Each structure stands twice: as C-alpha cells, then as structure tokens.
Amino acid sequence: MSNIFPEPIKKLPEIEIDLDGLKTHLIQAKDCQIVFMEFTKQVDIPEHFHESQWEIVLEGKVDLYLNGSMKTYSKGDRFFIPKDVKHSAKVYAGYASIAYFNQKDRYKIKK
C-alpha cells in the first residue's frame, strides 16, 4: 500500500467489503460516513445505488458510469452521485480517494 494516508487515518476502523485489493478506513458520524480508500488492484464495481455520495480523487483514476455515460476522473477531480442513481465503475490499481456517503449505515465496521 502507498503512504497516502497518515497514521491517524490508518488507525481508523476498516469496513466490511469484499473487494480484493481494497484497503479502507472509516469515520462514522451520526448521519453519514466518510471512507478513505486505496486500491492496489483493478476492480470492476457492479451497478448499484444508494444514498448520495461525494468523492474526491487523491491518486490514480476511475471510470464512472452514471446515467448511461462514462467519465474518467483522476487526481484532483471530484464527483457527486445523487441518491438512488444507478452507477458502476472501473477502479484502476493505484486509486485513492476520500468518499462522503450521506448515509449513516452504508458500510459496517470490519470485525
């Protein structure tokens, strides 16, 4: 893994998610979650939907499929996915981001 996140972030709890090559760190708030993500392998995220999501790309790139079109985001870009909008993605190895989920229970803490 890279050294993109400092020790205080690395000490946050991980989330339960079954994606090979993904390392996560979670901030759990009363009404939302913030997830710090690092991908060491390319991953295809199948189509799904949930509450709104805002994400900023720290490293690497992702192809986001939203509303029937694809857009590539890379370092410094940010994107917003509205509530209940179906989307999928191809996340490339080396991708790192911070994602805000407007949902308090999007992910569970890994035990």
We report the CATH number of the domain holding residue 74 as 2.60.120.10
CA angle, 40 as apex, 35 and 107 as ends, to 5°? 25
In a domain, residue 95? The reply is: yes
Neighbours of 90 (CB within 10 A): 16
Q: Based on the structure, what is the number of domains in the chain? A: 1
User: Is residue 1's pLDDT more than 90?
Assistant: no
pLDDT digit string, tens, across residues 62-106: 999 998 899 999 999 999 999 999 999 999 999 999 999 999 999
The whole-number average pLDDT for the span 34-43 is 97
| pLDDT for residue 3 | 85
**Rounded (10°) CA dihedral 110, 61, 44, 102:** 50
Predicted TM-score (pTM) of the model is: 0.94
